[in-house]
Amino acid sequence: MSENLYTFENETYKTAYRHTSAHILAQAVKRLYPDALLAIGPAIEDGFYYDIDSATAFTPEDIEKIEAEMRKICKEKLVLEKFELPRAEALKFATEQNEPYKVELINDLPEDAVISFYKQGEFTDLCAGPHVDTTARVKANALKLTSCTGAYWRGDSNNKMLQRIYGTCFMSKPELDEHLRKIEEAKLRDHRKLGRELDLFSLFEEGPGFPFFFPKGMVIRNELVNFWREEHRKAGYVEISTPLILNEEMWKRSGHWDHYKDNMYFTKIDDSDYAIKPMNCPGGIIAYKRKMWSYREFPIRVAELGLVHRHELSGALHGLMRVRNFTQDDAHLYMTPEHISGEIVALLELVDKFYKVFGFDYRVELSTRPDDFMGARERWDEAERLLEDALKSKDVTYRINPGDGAFYGPKIDFHLVDCLGRTWQCATLQLDFQMPERFELEYVGPDGEKHRPVMIHRTVLGSLERFIAILTEHYAGAFPLWLAPVQVIVMPITDRTKDYAQQIADALTDSGLRVETDFRSEKIGFKIREAQMQKIPYMLVLGDKEAESGLLTVRKRSDGDIGSMTLPEFFEMISAERCPY
């Protein structure tokens, strides 16, 4: 690796740098706690982690000691040396090191495998790499251990709970400091915290992974759905609803049984086996098959806000970001081969339009054929070419994500970027030649004969719940006017102006705004602070002067007092904010 490639602009080097940091973490743990057993330690998006089995329950003080030892190891300039062993010798080596988790990993490898290890000083770890050449590459003043949590071995709750130490690292201290600042900002924006404080949504131990939405949260949800429905109506979609439960045979036919059954919930009805849907596509396909379509009716664009259930491990659950039931803003498009390119381009434009409303930039990935793909390789090659051609025709910058397509087709994934620079995969577009074959979908072509349609599966928001979590963090709970649960609060200064305040509140409500009044016998400063904490966009302060003149004193959440105006002037001022689409 040449010197000019030693930069985080080079993804390979960034991964190697952070992977080496994980090994430095493991070495530091073994120095301080020799009886600790090592599991796995990969590089991840913002750093690295290592799973450790130790009789010591690591405290914040222990984490500080481990971090200090890591800095020493960086300064020791230990060379990383790779060596390989046949499987039998690798097993013997890991056993002699008393590393049972490494023994288990080696046992899972083929008999004829040649297994690699990396050595740095006195420390050796089972590893496929890659790594940097020396621990000195990792800047001692630019690494930080960020947390220690529990994690089941191999993500299986039947296995032992290990301790997972997370860390992050950069190539300079200013970069680390900026990242840590963003972490602190992210804590303030945590949707779980804001969901409770603003009384929007929550999760309870009586239903882990199953979210509750409260009245104010439902306002946000319903406004998103109204926006979604209006834009889909304009784009030529019709809407359907399909059942939550379908028989098991349907899921075997669709391929989900072979590829997804470990993430599904099952039930029995009348002694027959049924599954709760993890996807909407099979139900949408049944709806398509209710009649014979003509090519003249194509393309058919069918949308569904479908509630799906997926079994997620308890350790993977995270607020609304990772749940066990959620609403997908799904759609399935049926078309002739001639329609494919035009429909893909239209979908690229639709996603772009949606994300611009929220002020999101986004990145695009083209995910190609996975190892467990269904169907003919030639069909996959054709589908990947069509997706790539559409991206190029719109001058979309994208990167290839090899092997990460759905089992039935390649896909374009959209990763939106929030105000902290974090990325979230939301929209997806999957081109599918396989499901129409498996379910024998047909239409009548111009020749009067039956033909097989092509399908596109797609979402724009993705999971409605997850998208609301992203918006909550992106806006830090200060939603734009059109999404805000309460848009205006009316606050009389004294009891003398209650009647005037009620008249103003009624006029605002009649205009379609979501309004609250605060008639409590509290000082106006206290009322303003509380309204500010509830992140209400506009506050109308009404005293004797306002009642006599028929004016409003207006405070804006972001700007404070913006002066006095008439009610028509207030309506005019907020008109553009009331509906951005």
Find the catalytic residue in 328, 430, 434, 487. 328
Q: Active site includes 328?
A: yes
Query: How far is the C-alpha of 120 from the C-alpha of 135, rounded, in Å?
Result: 8
State which of 72-76, 110-114, 262-266 shows the largest mean pLDDT: 72-76
Q: What is the pLDDT of residue 158?
A: 87
Question: What does the pLDDT look like over 100-151, one tens digit per residue?
Answer: 999 999 999 988 889 999 999 999 999 999 999 999 999 999 999 999 999 8
**pLDDT higher than threshold 80 for residue 5:** no
Find the catalytic residue in 281, 369, 426, 535. 281
**pLDDT higher than threshold 80 for residue 157:** no
Which of 437, 468, 475 lies closest to 453 in space, CA to CA? 437
CA distances from 101 to 20, 35, 68, 159 (A): 19, 13, 26, 12
The tokens for 298 are: 């194509």
Query: How far is the C-alpha of 279 from the C-alpha of 466, rounded, in Å?
Result: 16
Q: What is the pLDDT of residue 156?
A: 82
Q: What is the pLDDT of residue 2?
A: 45
Q: What is the mean pLDDT of residues 440-459?
A: 96
Find the catalytic residue in 330, 413, 432, 518. 330
Find the catalytic residue in 232, 411, 474, 535. 411
Query: How far is the C-alpha of 575 from the C-alpha of 3, rounded, in Å?
Result: 56
Q: Active site includes 131?
A: no
Q: What is the mean pLDDT of residues 426-455?
A: 94
Using pLDDT thresholds of 50, 70 and 90, give the confidence band for residue 431. Answer: very high
Single-letter code of the amino acid located at 434: Q
Residues counted in the chain: 581
Listed in sequence order, the residues at least 6 apart from 544 whose beta carbon sits closer than 8 Å to its beta carbon are: 493, 494, 496, 497
Q: What is the pLDDT of residue 313?
A: 82
Find the catalytic residue in 19, 164, 332, 369. 332
**pLDDT higher than threshold 50 for residue 363:** yes
Q: Active site includes 411?
A: yes
State which of 3-17, 111-125, 247-261 shows the largest mean pLDDT: 111-125
Q: Is 333 within 8 Å of 387 (Cβ atoms)?
A: no
Three-state DSSP class for 147?
A: strand
Q: What is the mean pLDDT of residues 86-97?
A: 94
Query: How far is the C-alpha of 541 from the C-alpha of 497, rounded, in Å?
Result: 10
Question: What does the pLDDT look like over 522-558, one tens digit per residue?
Answer: 999 999 999 999 999 999 999 999 999 999 999 999 9
Which DSSP helix (H) or strand (E) runs through 165? strand 161-169
Q: What is the mean pLDDT of residues 354-383?
A: 90
Query: How far is the C-alpha of 196 from the C-alpha of 409, rounded, in Å?
Result: 40
Q: Is 553 within 8 Å of 561 (Cβ atoms)?
A: yes
Q: What burial class does residue 334 get, using C-beta atoms within 10 Å of its C-beta: 0-12 exposed, 13-18 middle, 19+ buried?
A: buried
Using pLDDT thresholds of 50, 70 and 90, give the confidence band for residue 48. Answer: very high
Q: Which residues pair with 399 in a beta bridge?
A: 365
Three-state DSSP class for 99?
A: coil
Q: Is 293 within 8 Å of 339 (Cβ atoms)?
A: no
Three-state DSSP class for 302?
A: strand
Nearest-5° Cα angle at 86, 85 to 89: 75
Q: Active site includes 71?
A: no
Which DSSP helix (H) or strand (E) runs through 52? strand 47-53
Q: What is the pLDDT of residue 326?
A: 95
Query: How far is the C-alpha of 471 from the C-alpha of 465, rounded, in Å?
Result: 10
298 DSSP assignment: P
CA distances from 475 to 61, 400, 466 (A): 34, 31, 14
Percent of the chain having pLDDT more than 90?
83
Window from 130-144, 212-226, 250-264, 348-362 with minimum mean pLDDT: 250-264
Find the catalytic residue in 179, 457, 458, 555. 457
**pLDDT higher than threshold 50 for residue 184:** yes
Mean pLDDT of the chain: 93
Percent of the chain having pLDDT more than 70?
99
Using pLDDT thresholds of 50, 70 and 90, give the confidence band for residue 4. Answer: low
Q: What is the pLDDT of residue 546?
A: 94
**pLDDT higher than threshold 90 for residue 315:** no
Find the catalytic residue in 102, 164, 179, 310. 310
**pLDDT higher than threshold 80 for residue 312:** yes
